[in-house]
């Protein structure tokens, strides 16, 4: 009989989806709690640092760790972290270990409501039962209860319908535990576990689709995070960090500063400050070993590595000789606002505290987001008790004196002289970054998203039935 339809209809993905939808989430077996055990609690403490729970669950400037109230800017509005201290009234004191695991790995709260993926359960879902147990023991036995409820999340309709996250999870949550790859070394496996299940590099560095889910096909290929941009950190020598040595990457994760390459600002600085700097060197080396062998993903628009652009400027003497009105506006503003620290030559200070602007990834990158955001928000990072600080020139700063046009002029001057001359910055680019950066489709669609998601799920269900009937017919 002549086969009219392909022999194997593309069932696998759809079936998996149907199964996931029908079964919902299943949490597996849990290690029995052996009561507050100091060793286990200590391990839980270390894991909480590696997973950076405190960064999101502590309000800025607060002295009460894990009491919640940090507003995570999302394109849909601010999502506030909750109190995860063992307070029975305001925190997670009533959570059983099973409920705790459910929240961490499936994004479902004790009362059954879905969490927003601002809580990185899509990463923590990879955590082993042992590690979830250690975290639970730590939170229940070693964290001080805080008796207060932080500000509540109130997203606009339709995003306030938490049940819609159930559909999102069915489509995008890969609810499976980490499985070591026997073809890789123990160090690389450890590095992958740390990088994905705990440090969740992917939540920031992996691009997302229109529904804000990570694109499975391009891990760590670079992604926009509101105003900041988390660059491509795959092993590609041009688009990624293939040209970085293991020592460079180790130093970056431990300190956030690799002279002649990159400095960490924004969310990367926070991750280093609160988490990576405190991890064991062996664990950082394992992460480096893993990251170094992540398959290269290149963007053929990139022609040279971002840290390779630019050179020192010879214009210092010109500043002195020419009156201000003979300099371009960008150069004039640069000499007034930036050159005191980064020097007119762009070489920075000899001790490297003020970094050089050429051979600097923020300036050599193919998009100017991190340059513009650095000018607006500055840099702040505390490592080993030392604070690195650049003031921001944006709202809320004592030097909030620059217009969008001014920042575009400075950026263009910096790009042309120290960075990637193909990059042009307009005042509209600056305005977009000020307003929180480019928005994914899910936020632009606004009120249409949830109906659109429901329609998509209904269509998929119909498609599954269609294929199942089809496969039965062709088999018969």
Nearest approach, Cβ of residue 23 and ligand HEC (Å): 22
By CB under 6 A, residue 390 contacts ligand HEC:
yes
Nearest to 342 by CA among 359, 329, 365: 359
Give 341-344 contacts, CB < 8 A, sequence gap 24+: 341/390, 343/316, 344/313, 344/315, 344/316, 344/319
Count of residues in the chain:
476
Q: Closest Cα partner for 154 from 54, 71, 65, 61?
A: 71
Binding marks (x or -) toward ligand HEC, 350..389, rule CB under 6 A? ----xx-x--xxxx------xx--xx---x-x------xx
Helical segments of 215-357, H only: 246-255, 266-274, 281-292, 316-321, 329-337, 339-342
Region from 22-30, 142-150, 259-267, 318-326 binding ligand HEC, contact rule CB under 6 A? 259-267
Answer yes or no whether residue 116 interacts with ligand HEC by CB under 6 A.
yes
Judged by beta carbon, residue 266 or residue 344, the one nearer ligand HEC is: 266
Which residues within the stretch 415-474 sit at the binding site for ligand HEC (CB under 6 A)? none
Q: Does 342 bind ligand HEC (CB under 6 A)?
A: yes
Residue 375 has phi, psi (to 5 degrees) of -65, -40
If one asks whether residue 309 binds ligand HEC (CB under 6 A), the answer comes out as no
Q: Which among 146, 3, 11, 152 is positioned nearest to 84, based on CA atoms?
A: 146
- Residue from 86, 219, 222, 265 touching ligand HEC (CB under 6 A): that is 265
Which of 312-328 are b and which e, b meaning 16 or more Cβ less than 10 Å from the residue's Cβ? bbebbeebeeeeeeebe
The CA distance from 81 to 102, in Å, is 17
Range 144-203, binding ligand HEC (CB under 6 A): 153, 195, 199-201, 203
Of the candidate residues 204, 279, 297, 372, the single one contacting ligand HEC (CB under 6 A): 204
Over the window 136 to 155, marking each residue x when it contacts ligand HEC by CB under 6 A and - when it does not, the resulting string is -----------------x--
Cis (ω within 30 of 0) for the bond into 158? yes
Q: Which is nearer to ligand HEC, 18 or 261 (CB)?
A: 261
Sign of CA dihedral 469, 470, 472, 476: positive
225 makes contact with ligand HEC (CB under 6 A): yes
Q: Is 53 in the site for ligand HEC (CB under 6 A)?
A: yes
Among 76, 101, 213, 291, binds ligand HEC (CB under 6 A): 291
**Among 338, 442, 450, 453, interactor with ligand HEC by CB under 6 A:** 338
Per rule CB under 6 A, is residue 340 in the interface with ligand HEC?
A: yes
- Closest distance of CB 116 from ligand HEC, Å: 4
**Beta strand extents in 6-57 (DSSP E only):** none
266 close to 228: Cβ distance less than 8 angstroms: yes
Nearest CB to ligand HEC, comparing residues 9 and 243: 243
Q: Counting contacts by CB under 6 A, is residue 313 touching ligand HEC?
A: no
Q: How far apart are CA 415 and CA 428, in angstroms?
A: 17
């Amino acid at each position: 009989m002549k086969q009219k339809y392909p022999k194997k209809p593309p069932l696998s993905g759809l079936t998996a989806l149907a199964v996931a939808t029908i079964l919902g989430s299943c949490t597996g077996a849990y290690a029995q709690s052996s009561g507050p055990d100091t060793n286990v609690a200590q391990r839980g403490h270390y894991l909480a640092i590696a997973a950076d729970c405190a960064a999101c669950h502590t309000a800025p400037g607060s002295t009460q760790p894990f009491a919640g109230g940090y507003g995570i800017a999302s394109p849909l509005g601010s999502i506030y972290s909750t109190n995860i201290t063992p307070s029975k009234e305001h925190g997670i004191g009533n959570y059983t270990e099973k409920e705790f695991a459910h929240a961490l790995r499936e994004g479902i709260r004790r009362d059954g409501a879905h969490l927003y993926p601002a809580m990185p359960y899509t990463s923590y879902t990879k955590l082993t039962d042992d590690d979830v147990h250690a975290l639970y023991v730590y939170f229940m036995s070693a964290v001080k209860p805080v008796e207060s409820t932080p500000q509540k999340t109130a997203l606009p309709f339709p995003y306030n319908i938490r049940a819609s996250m159930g559909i999102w999870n069915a489509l995008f949550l890969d609810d499976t535990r980490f499985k070591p790859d026997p073809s890789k070394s123990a160090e690389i496996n450890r590095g992958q576990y740390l990088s994905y299940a705990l440090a969740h590099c992917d939540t920031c560095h992996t691009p997302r689709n229109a529904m804000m889910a990570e694109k499975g096909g391009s891990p760590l290929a670079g992604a926009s995070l509101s105003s900041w941009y988390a660059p491509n950190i795959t092993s590609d020598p041009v688009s990624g960090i293939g040209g970085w040595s293991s020592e460079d990457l180790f130093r970056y994760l431990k300190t956030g500063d690799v002279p002649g390459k990159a400095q960490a600002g924004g969310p990367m600085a926070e991750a280093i400050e609160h988490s990576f700097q405190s991890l064991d060197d062996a664990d950082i080396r394992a992460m480096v070993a893993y990251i170094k062998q992540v398959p290269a993903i290149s963007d053929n628009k990139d022609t040279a590595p971002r840290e390779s652009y630019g050179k020192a400027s010879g214009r210092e003497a010109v500043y002195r000789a020419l009156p201000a009105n003979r300099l371009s506006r960008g150069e004039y503003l640069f000499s007034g606002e930036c050159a005191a620290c980064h020097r007119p030559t762009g070489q920075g200070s000899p001790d490297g505290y003020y970094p050089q602007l050429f051979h600097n990834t923020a300036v050599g990158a193919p998009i100017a987001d991190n340059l513009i955001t650095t000018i607006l928000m500055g840099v702040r990072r505390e490592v080993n008790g030392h604070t690195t600080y650049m003031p921001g020139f944006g709202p809320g700063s004592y030097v909030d004196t620059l217009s969008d046009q001014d920042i575009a002029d400075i950026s263009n001057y910096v790009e042309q002289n120290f960075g990637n001359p193909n990059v042009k910055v307009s005042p509209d680019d600056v305005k977009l970054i000020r307003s929180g950066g480019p928005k994914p489709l899910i936020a632009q669609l606004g009120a249409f998203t949830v109906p659109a998601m429901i329609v998509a799920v209904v269509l998929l269900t119909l498609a599954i039935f269609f294929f199942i009937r089809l496969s039965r017919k062709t088999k018969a």
